[in-house]
A and B are shown apart, each in its own frame.
Chain A
Amino acid sequence: MSRTALFGQYWAGTSFVHKMDPRAKMLLSVAVMAVIFCAQGWAGLAICAAFVLGFYAFSEIPLIQAAKSIAPLLFLVILTALLNVFFVQGGEIYFQWWVICISEEGVTHAAFIACRLLLLLMSASLLTLTTTTLDITEAFERLLSPFARIGFPAHELGMMMGIALRFLPQFMDELGIVYRAQISRGATLSANPFKGGANSLMSLIVPLFTSAFRHAETLSSAMDARCYHGSNGRTRLHQLAYGKKDAIGTLAVVLMLAVVIAANIFIGF
C-alpha cells in the first residue's frame, strides 16, 4: 500500500528533528505557535513561514507529504478565511449584493488569517510527523509530572492519551466496515449525514460506541493480566535526556522570536 502521511501520522526518519527530545519538541512547537501569533504584519508572517519551512527542511520530510498531512484540515482554513471575507469590513468595496459585502480590508485580513492558520497547522503537524505517539505521550507525562505532587494524575492522563491515539486508526477501520454494512442495507449516508435522518447516523455511531466499549474491556483485562498498576515503581527502557540538538532547536526558536519582534517594530506592516 502506498505510504501517505495523514495529520498526526508519524513519518519515520532519522533526521535532526526526529532525534530531538520529544519534550523539547513539544515545548518548542508550542513556542513556535506563540511566535506565529506575535507576527503582526506580512513581514513577520513571511519570516515565520521561512523558519517553519526551514524546520521542515531539517526534518527531511518531503514537502509533498507535509502538504498531504495537513490537506484534510484545509477546509478549516478556507472556512475561517471565508468568514473573515464576509465579516471584516473597511476600505474599498469590491462587490456588494444584498447583505453580502466584500471589501478590501476583508480580503487582506482573510488572506492574513488563512496564512497564519496554515503555518500553525504546519508547525503542529511537524511535531506529530517527527515524533511517535509513544514519545508524545511520554513527553506529555513527563512535562506534567511536577504537578503530580499536588495530586495531578499525569501518568494516567498520558496513558489515556496514548491509548486514544493508538485506537484512532482502529476506529477509522471499523467505521469503514460498519459504513459499508449499513450502505449494503440501503442506508443513505453517502453525501449528507443528516439527509438519511437520525436513524442512519445512529446506525454508524452506536456500533462504533459498542466496539469502543468492547475494546476498552479487553484492553483493561489485557493490562491487568500483565500486572499494570499505574505509575508506581514503573521504569522505562529508554530514558529521555535533553541534548545538544535541543539546545540548538531552542536557539533557533529564540532567533525566530527575535526576528519577528524586530520585523514588527521596524517594518510594521
Chain B
Amino acid sequence: MFDFIISKYNYWIYIVLMMIGFYGMIGKKNLIKKVIGMNIFQTAIILFFISTAAKRGGTLPIIEHGHGHEMQAIEAASYVNPLPHVLMLTAIVVMVSTLGVALAIVIAIYKRYNTLEEEEILKHKI
C-alpha cells in the first residue's frame, strides 16, 4: 500500500492541481478568474506530461561526447524520455496562444460592458 502511494503520488498532485483549475473555469463568475483557472488547468497538464518522461537514474537527453569522439553505444535507459518534453514545448505555445486570445476577448468584453462579472454583463444584455 505504501509503495503504491509512493509510486503514484505525483500523478495525484497534478490531478488535484488540474481540478483546482477546472473548478475555476466552470465555478467562478469573474471572467479573469476563469482565465486564471484555465491557465492552472493547462499548466497542470504540462506537469503531468513532463512527469511521464522521468526515468530513475536518467539524465538530460543530451548525448555526452557528442561531436569529435568515437561513436559509443548509447544506452537509452540512462537518458530521460525526450518526447514528452517536445510535446509540451508545443503545448506551452498552444496554451500561451489560447491565453492571449482569451485576454483579447476579455478586453473586448470590458470595453463594451465596463465590468468583468458575468452576472452583471447578463443584466446589461436584457
Partners in one complex: no
A residues contacting B by CB (< 8 A) are: none
